[in-house]
C-alpha cells in the first residue's frame, strides 16, 4: 500500500510527520511523492490558530474532491484539539489521529483498508526517521508540550504538559543523524529554555540549566557540524549556555526568542513576566558575549487591551532591539485560552494595521543587519541546486531553515577552474565569500582558498 504525507505547521509537527513516515515504512507501507499514486493521504494538521486550522481542513476537502476514491487521515494538532467536532463535521476524512497517539498511525492506516492484524510494537530510532527537511539539516525535538501558560496560546492544551527527553536519548539521536551525514542539528521544543531533566545528577546540580548540560554533551561529539537552538522563552532564558556557544563555534550564535510584546502591562495579561527594559538587557547580554549573534523574534499585535501607548512602546522596542529577523502575528481568539474571554478586544483592522506597520519598519533593519556579512568569508550549508543556472541555494549561521532569508551561491565557472567536480554537494558545508545583499537574501561566491581537508 502506498501513502502520501501532506505536512502542515511547525518544526515540532514536522518531526511528528517524520516519525509517522518511519513507522509506516517500517510496517511495509511505501511513501509516494505524488498523491495520485497513493492509496492513503495523510494530512498532518496544525491547530495553533484559526487560519492554520482552516488551512488543514481545506487540504482535506481539496484532496477528497480531487481523489474521491482515496482514504484520508487527518492527523496532528487540529485532531488533537477538536477530534469530536471534526468526526461530526468533516466526513471527507476517513480517519483521525491526534499528535498524542501518532504511534498508532500503522494501526489506523491498516484498519482503513481492512488489512490490520496485531503486530509487535516497532521501536523507531529517532535518528533514523526519514527527514522532510532540506539536505544536511534535521530537527531534533528535545521536549514535547509546555508548562508555560501564555494566555493566547493553545499549545499546552494540544500538546500537554512539558515532557523532556533524557540527555542520553537526545545524544543518541544526534549521533545517528551525524552518522547519516547531517550537518545541521536544529534543537526544537515548544520552549528550549524550559528544558529540564528528571534526574539532574552531579553535573546539573552544578549548573543552573539542563540545556547547558545537554550542549556540553553535544560538544563532546566529534566532527564538523552546526547546532542551532530554536524557540526560547525570554522570561527564563538560560544565560549559562552563552559560555558554551562562545567556546565551541559549532554552536551557532543564533537565537529565536519570541518576545511577543514590550509593554509590561500587556505582557502580564499575556501570562508573561517581562518588559521592555528586561528584554533589552537580555539582548545586550547576548550581544556582549556574542557580538555576531543573529536574533529572530516574534511580535503579537491586537491582543485584548493593547492601547496606542502599548503599541508605541512595541515600536520603540523594535527600533532599539534591531532584530535580524522578526515575524508578526495578529492575536487569534482561541477557545480554551485564558485570553478568549478577555474584554477590550481590538478590531481585526487595527490589529492588521499595527502588524503591517511593524513589518514595514523591519525591512530596513533586517537589510542593514544583513549588510554586516557582505565581504566576509562564511561557512554555507548547501541546500539546493538551481538547475541549469550555475546557482545553488544555501544558508549561513544567521539564516534558520524555512523562516529567514537564504544565500545564493554562484557556483558557475568555479568548478572547472579551481575546484574538483562534486565540490558543491547538497547537505555539505562550504566556505564562501559574501559578495552582496539582495533584499533579505545574500549572494556568495566560493572562496578560492579552501584547504583540501575542509572540503566536506
Interacting residues toward ligand SF4 by CB under 6 A: 146, 148, 150, 153, 155-156, 190-191, 233
Phi, psi values for residue 186, rounded to 5°: -100, 110
Q: Judged by CB, which is closer to ligand SF4: 23, or 300?
A: 300
Q: Judged by CB, which is closer to ligand SF4: 82, or 393?
A: 82
Q: Report, in Å, the least distance between residue 233 CB and ligand SF4.
A: 5
| 229 contacts 177 by C-beta, under 8 angstroms | no
Residue (of 287, 454, 448) closest to 372 by Cα position:
287
| 276 contacts 263 by C-beta, under 8 angstroms | yes
Q: Judged by CB, which is closer to ligand SF4: 32, or 148?
A: 148
Q: Report, in Å, the least distance between residue 257 CB and ligand SF4.
A: 11
Task: Retrieve residue 260's grid coordinates.
Answer: 511577543
Q: Judged by CB, which is closer to ligand SF4: 148, or 278?
A: 148
| 276 contacts 262 by C-beta, under 8 angstroms | yes
Q: Judged by CB, which is closer to ligand SF4: 191, or 383?
A: 191
Q: Report, in Å, the least distance between residue 162 CB and ligand SF4.
A: 9
Task: Retrieve residue 166's grid coordinates.
Answer: 533524557
Non-local CB neighbours of 349 within 8 Å, separated by 6+ positions: none
Q: Report, in Å, the least distance between residue 299 CB and ligand SF4.
A: 13
Q: Report, in Å, the least distance between residue 323 CB and ligand SF4.
A: 18
Q: Report, in Å, the least distance between residue 10 CB and ligand SF4.
A: 10
Count how many Cα atoms sit within 13 Å of the Cα of residue 367 in the half-sphere of its side chain: 9
Q: Judged by CB, which is closer to ligand SF4: 9, or 35?
A: 9
Q: Report, in Å, the least distance between residue 265 CB and ligand SF4.
A: 18
Q: Report, in Å, the least distance between residue 129 CB and ligand SF4.
A: 23
Give every strand in the sheet of 30-31, ordered side by side. Answer: 30-31, 2-7, 40-45, 71-76, 95-98
| 15 contacts 141 by C-beta, under 8 angstroms | yes
Distance of CA 202 to the CA centre of its chain: 31
Q: Judged by CB, which is closer to ligand SF4: 153, or 252?
A: 153
Residue (of 160, 269, 175) closest to 221 by Cα position:
175
Q: Judged by CB, which is closer to ligand SF4: 21, or 146?
A: 146
The DSSP code sequence of 270-326 is: TT----HHHHHHHHHHHHHH-TT-EEEEEEEE--TT--HHHHHHHHHHHHHH--SEE
Amino acid at each position: 500500500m502506498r501513502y502520501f504525507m501532506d505536512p502542515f505547521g511547525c518544526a515540532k509537527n514536522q518531526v511528528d510527520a517524520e516519525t509517522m513516515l518511519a513507522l509506516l515504512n517500517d510496517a511495509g507501507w511505501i511513501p509516494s511523492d505524488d498523491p495520485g499514486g497513493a492509496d492513503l493521504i495523510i494530512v498532518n494538521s496544525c491547530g495553533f490558530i484559526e487560519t492554520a486550522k482552516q488551512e488543514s481542513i481545506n487540504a482535506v476537502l481539496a484532496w477528497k474532491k480531487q481523489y474521491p476514491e482515496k482514504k484520508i487521515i487527518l492527523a496532528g494538532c487540529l485532531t488533537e484539539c477538536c477530534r469530536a467536532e471534526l468526526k461530526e463535521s468533516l466526513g471527507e476524512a476517513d480517519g483521525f489521529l491526534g499528535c498524542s497517539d501518532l504511534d498508532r498511525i500503522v494501526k489506523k492506516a491498516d484498519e482503513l483498508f481492512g488489512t490490520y492484524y496485531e503486530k509487535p510494537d516497532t521501536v523507531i530510532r529517532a535518528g533514523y526517521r526519514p527527514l522532510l527537511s532540506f539536505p544536511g539539516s534535521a530537527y531534533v525535538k528535545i521536549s514535547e508540550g509546555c508548562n508555560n501558560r501564555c494566555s493566547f496560546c493553545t499549545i499546552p492544551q494540544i500538546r500537554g504538559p512539558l515532557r523532556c527527553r533524557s540527555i542520553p536519548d537526545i545524544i543518541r539521536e544526534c549521533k545517528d543523524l551525524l552518522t547519516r551525514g547531517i550537518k545541521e542539528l536544529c534543537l526544537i521544543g515548544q520552549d528550549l529554555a524550559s528544558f529540564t531533566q528528571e534526574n539532574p545528577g552531579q553535573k546539573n546540580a552544578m549548573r543552573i540549566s539542563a540545556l547547558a548540560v545537554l550542549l556540553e554533551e553535544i560538544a563532546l561529539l566529534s566532527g564538523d557540524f552546526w547546532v542551532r537552538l530554536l524557540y526560547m522563552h525570554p522570561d527564563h532564558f538560560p544565560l549559562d549556555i552563552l559560555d558554551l556557544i562562545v567556546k565551541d563555534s559549532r554552536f551557532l550564535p543564533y537565537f529565536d526568542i519570541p518576545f511577543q510584546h514590550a509593554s509590561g502591562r500587556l505582557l502580564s495579561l499575556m501570562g508573561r513576566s517581562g518588559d521592555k527594559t528586561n528584554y533589552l538587557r537580555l539582548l545586550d547580554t547576548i550581544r556582549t558575549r556574542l557580538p555576531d549573534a543573529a536574533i529572530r523574534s516574534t511580535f503579537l499585535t491586537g491582543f485584548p487591551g493593547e492601547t496606542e501607548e502599548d503599541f508605541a512602546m512595541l515600536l520603540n522596542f523594535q527600533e532599539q532591539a534591531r532584530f535580524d529577523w522578526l515575524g508578526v502575528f495578529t492575536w487569534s481568539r482561541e477557545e480554551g485560552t485564558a485570553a478568549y474571554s478577555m474584554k477590550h478586544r481590538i478590531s481585526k483592522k487595527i490589529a492588521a494595521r499595527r502588524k503591517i506597520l511593524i513589518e514595514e519598519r523591519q525591512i530596513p533593519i533586517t537589510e542593514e543587519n544583513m549588510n554586516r556579512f557582505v565581504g566576509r568569508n562564511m561557512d554555507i550549508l548547501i541546500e539546493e541546486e538551481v538547475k541549469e543556472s550555475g546557482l545553488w541555494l544555501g544558508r549561513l549561521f544567521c539564516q534558520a531553515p524555512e523562516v529567514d532569508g537564504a544565500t545564493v551561491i554562484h557556483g558557475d565557472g568555479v568548478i572547472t577552474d579551481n575546484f574538483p567536480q562534486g565540490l558543491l554537494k547538497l547537505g555539505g558545508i562550504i566556505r564562501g565569500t559574501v559578495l552582496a545583499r539582495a533584499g533579505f537574501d545574500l549572494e556568495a561566491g566560493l572562496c578560492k582558498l579552501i584547504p583540501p581537508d575542509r572540503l566536506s
